[in-house]
Structure 1
Amino acid sequence: MRLAGPLRVVAVVFLVGLTWLLASNLFGGDSSFVKVRHFFHGTQDQTTPEPKPRKYKCGLSAPCPAKHLAFRITSGAANVIGPKICLEDKILFSSVKNNVGRGLNIALVNVIHDLSCRSDVSDLLKFLRPLHEGTLVFVASFDDPASKLNDEARRLFEELGSTAIKELAFRDSWVFVGAKGIENKSPFEQRMKNSKNTNKYEGWPESLEMDGCVPLRVSQDS
């Protein structure tokens, strides 16, 4: 009989506590209930946002190793949007810079040059013939890269490591990185053939984009 009083008190306290917990759950309450719930579930409901993937030079997903240059090349889209060449996080050619031309846009390490198909092929030959051993060559097409190429021009690009230059034709899309004196064929080359059946744009294939890390070649003359 002496335990009846304490038991009633315990029962009342339990009911009040249970009622408070239920009310907190239903009406939002303070954070005490949340802490209790987290304790029993063992995890918290807060979600940590996933970190954004880090971008490196020219937007690459990973840094280039030592003595390599980061690059990204985008060919022109039809005859409307010009090509873009990024080297070591510096934009060498782009429509924004207003320094692109229809035909072949060519950049060398430490030298930038733009060649248009409206120019005579002799200008291209004068530009390619005297290249020093080890010179890196970056090329992006715009509109039509091939109509004015002759056999010698194609041979010079072949010596720079191109395999697609032999078949490069009217309005093909082409991006390429080569080097003077390269021993093997360049691994950095893409070509999209101009074809009515596959063209993305009316009369032109889709634009090409290529990126990577190219070894920095040292001229034998240095």
Structure 2
Amino acid sequence: MRQRGIVCLVAVIVTILVAWGISVGPPNIHSTARNFQNFLGIPDATSPPVITTPSSPHKCGLSRRCPVDYFAFHISSGAADVVGPKICFDGKTIMSNVYNNVAHGLNVVLINGENGKVENISTFNMNTGENVLAYLKAIQNGSIVLVASFDDVTRKMTDEMREMFVGLGSTMIKSVKHRDSWVFAGGAGAGEKSPFEKRATSDPKTNIYGAWPEVVEVGGCFPRKL
């Protein structure tokens, strides 16, 4: 109550000052009154209200919205041999530990590059390397290929397999070694190097998960294959 009385008293004083300024006409009396008003926290009826709009999240956790004819995506590799990778595309999580559809080795999602529909979800145990080469050779032109490592992807990774990934746009696969973390997004038939690829080298001196390096992530806006 006491505080409200003080505010009312100050408002009266400001009103008197403004009225006096109108009568005597000093050029700075109105700005002085407004400054005094603002200092005391009294709203100025002549100032427009400040409107704040809460930011809305974008697809796959990106910091910006993708343009038309682009798909949002985000890929993170597995953490050591404990936490599996995660692949998100066009705002939907496709692979993750929660969905129980990841496995040690290569984790791959194939997307129709025209309509953005998921065409295939596969995991490959690289301790055997079984079916990997045949799978890579069967990928149709125009497909978007999303790949995440978990634990190790090199035990049975052949040079021919690496060349297949190069054909999809990879520039790092030839350097990926035992227990390196690796994520990649490319396109079949594009014939271009992909900007969406990251790798962390497994090194006992720098590893943060014992025998494994840090998790690597890549995300952005992938062009629709029109």
Cα distance between partner residues in 2 of 1:143 and 1:52: 39
Structure 1 letter corresponding to 2:88: C
Q: Give the whole-Å Cα distance in 2 for the aligned partners of 1:201 and 1:158.
A: 28
* SS in structure 2 at match of 1:166: helix
Letter in 2 for 1:105: N
Q: Which has the greater radius of gyration?
A: 1
Distance 2:188 2:72 in 1: 19
Contact 1:58 1:89 in 2 (8 A): yes
Report the residue type matching 1:101 in the other structure.
A
Alignment of 1:85-164 (within 5 A): 85-109=87-111, 110-118=118-126, 120-164=128-172
Rounded Cα–Cα distance in structure 1 between residues aligned with 2:214 and 2:205: 12
Cα shift at 1:164: 0.6
More displaced stretch, 148-157 vs 33-42: 33-42
What do residues 45-81 of structure 1 show as CA deviations (whole Å, max 9, x unaligned)? 79x7975433211111211111111001111111111
CA distances 1:80-131 after superposition (whole Å, capped 9, x unpaired):
1110000011110010111100111000112232223256324111211011
Identity between Structure 1 and Structure 2 (%): 40
Letter of the structure 1 residue corresponding to residue 163 of structure 2: R
The alignment status of 1:178 with 2:186, answered yes or no, reads yes
Q: Residue by residue, what CA displacement relative to the aligned partner does 1:128-179 show, whole Å, maximum 9, x if unpaired?
A: 1011111110001111121110111101001001011001111100010011
Unaligned runs of 5+ in 2: 15-32, 44-49, 112-117
- Structure 1 residue 34: deviation in Å? 6.5
Count of aligned pairs: 193
Match of 2:36 in 1: 41
The offset of 1:217, in angstroms, is: 1.3
Question: Equivalent residue for 1:55?
Answer: 57
- TM superposition score normalised by structure 1: 0.78
Q: Deviations over 1:167-192 (max 9, x none)?
A: 11111000100111122210000000
> What's the TM-score, normalizing by structure 2?
0.77
Is 2:50 aligned against 1:74? no
SS class of match (1:157): helix
Pair 1:52–1:194, CA change in 2 (3 A): farther
- Please provide the CA RMSD for this pair: 2.5
Match of 2:196 in 1: 188
Residue 167 (structure 1) aligns with: 175
Partner Cα distance (1:49, 1:79) in 2:
48
The equivalent residue for 1:5 is none
Judging changes above 3 Å, is the alpha-carbon distance between structure 1 residues 34 and 206 closer, same or farther for their aligned structure 2 residues? farther
Structure 1 residue 40: deviation in Å?
4.5
